[in-house]
Amino acid sequence: MTYFCNNSFRLNILFFFWLFLVVVPFNAVNGQTQTSAEIQLGGFYSDGEELPFWMYNNTRGRITRETAIAGTLSAKLNYELDYDESLEFGGGVNLQDGFYDHIFVDELYAGYQNSWLDVVLGAKHRPELYKGLSLSNESMLWSLNARSRPGIQLRTRRPITLFGDNGIGIEAAWEEYYMGNSPGIADALLHHKMLSLVYKPQSSDDTWQFSLHHYVKWGGESSELGELPSGINDYLRVISGMGANLDGKNVSRNLGSYEVLFKTWINSGLEVSFLYNYIFQSFKGAALSNIPDGRYGVFFDFKQERSLINGLMYELYYTGNQGLQHNTNSRNENYLNNDIYQSGWTYKNRVMASPLFRYNPGSSLIFNNIFTSHHFGLSGTFANYFESYPYKLLLTFARLEGTHKNPFTPKEDLAYLFYEMRILDSFVNIKLQLGAEYSNINKPVYGAGIQLNKRF
């Protein structure tokens, strides 16, 4: 496992993968095979030591706060086995001049799809949701802030109907990841499963979805405890929520979330989604002792992509309780931190959850997990008959308070602004980015970026 994730080994695999892809001309369609490639290049400037918040967060780990130049080279091959069945192979490499790894594998995977099932082996990014307007994308615990993780993913592509045609179905996912090395732990593993109940009344186009997510960090070798349990019996305990046991102590770390999603059509051109996301990392938290913590949101999806406004999102985040109000011994959940896996809910020095959770690589701790935030996202297109120029605007107001054990004094009030717009749609696409960050503690930070994109 360690050898598989060695950097030179991964890059050699990527090289041969690329060699296989480039023997087929890009954009060629040969029978049932299609190939494509993409090059992205970006240059970034800030008047401070770091880029503004939105210029490096939720960038799939490709850009760090110190990055000035970055590029991604990727390719994909799709082979259709049948009209609703296909294989996909993809890979890419990222280069950037930030503080951490200058070159690393961005994606490397093989996938299988049919009408109801999606299987991925390797490292593949999660899809972008809500037109890129959300602060957290998929959930508070599973954003686009970190790199893709190598593993195996099995997921339904649509609801599987139960009890005939009554509008009730389920969606599910089962995923296992290799997390590699982090401070204090080598060769850690991550388990994730999801179960959703979906209800679509026959009398309307509304959709209700109730989901449960369970995540467990487990296994590996601890610098303090030695080899951690990773056998089949330990795995069965991990997936059941009991946890891996070492000398009578639970040495795995659980996280969970409940998600509620309601979608309704206002008219043929507008779909509205209401969502709530609740997180926990203990049995008391699972019993809703962390309420009112969570993510509350609404998303307006205008289906006419070339309209001036085609997406609008508002999200409210609050994480101030963490079970403290319902716990008589004054202990709280301390979101995303734990004592066994010292770096907490991170991968390659990036928080995997909402980027308002702050991680310090020096101390290997999540040093901010209490925050209140109002987040707004707006997207649309400036277009005429011949050309279109999509744009995206993000505006985030946040109060960061540290942790219950180590609160910030004073509390930090922040405003993050970001504007992105395509300014050229020709033989290459060029996007302009503008960012700003305001704080009651630090001086303002302003930044700008240019990104070039070419698809073959």
In this structure, CATH architecture of domain 7-455: Beta Barrel (2.40)
Span 328-366, pLDDT tens digits: 455 678 999 988 898 889 999 999 999 999 999 888 889
- Two structure tokens written together for 36: 């494509």
* pLDDT for 361: 85
Q: Locate the domains of the chain by residue range.
A: 7-455
Asked if 300 and 311 touch (Cβ cutoff 8 Å), the reply is yes
Q: What is the largest distance, in Å, between two alpha-carbon atoms of the chain?
A: 70
Span 162-212, pLDDT tens digits: 877 778 999 999 999 999 998 889 999 999 999 999 999 888 889 999 999
Q: Which has more confidence, 99 or 315?
A: 315
Residue 24 has pLDDT above 70, yes or no: no
The DSSP secondary structure of 12-59, one letter per residue, reads HHHHHHHHHHHTSPTT-EETTEEEEEEEEEEEEEESSSS--GGGTTTS
Span 403-449, pLDDT tens digits: 999 999 999 999 999 999 999 988 899 999 999 999 999 999 999 99
**Dihedral angle, C-alpha 148, 139, 449, 439, nearest 10 °:** -130
Give the whole-angstrom CA distance, residue 234 versus residue 244: 5
DSSP letter assigned to residue 127:
P
pLDDT band at 40 (very low <50, low <70, confident <90, very high): very high
Give the whole-angstrom CA distance, residue 442 versus residue 432: 26
Asked if 453 and 432 touch (Cβ cutoff 8 Å), the reply is no
Give the whole-angstrom CA distance, residue 100 versus residue 98: 6
3-class DSSP state for residue 431? strand
Give the whole-angstrom CA distance, residue 342 versus residue 183: 6
- Two structure tokens written together for 112: 């299988």
Write out the H or E segment, with its range, that includes residue 232. helix 232-240
* pLDDT for 4: 36
Residue 66 has pLDDT above 80, yes or no: yes
Give the whole-angstrom CA distance, residue 381 versus residue 304: 10
Residue 26 has pLDDT above 90, yes or no: no
Q: What is the number of helices (H) and of strands (E) in the chain? A: 3, 28
Give the whole-angstrom CA distance, residue 252 versus residue 218: 5
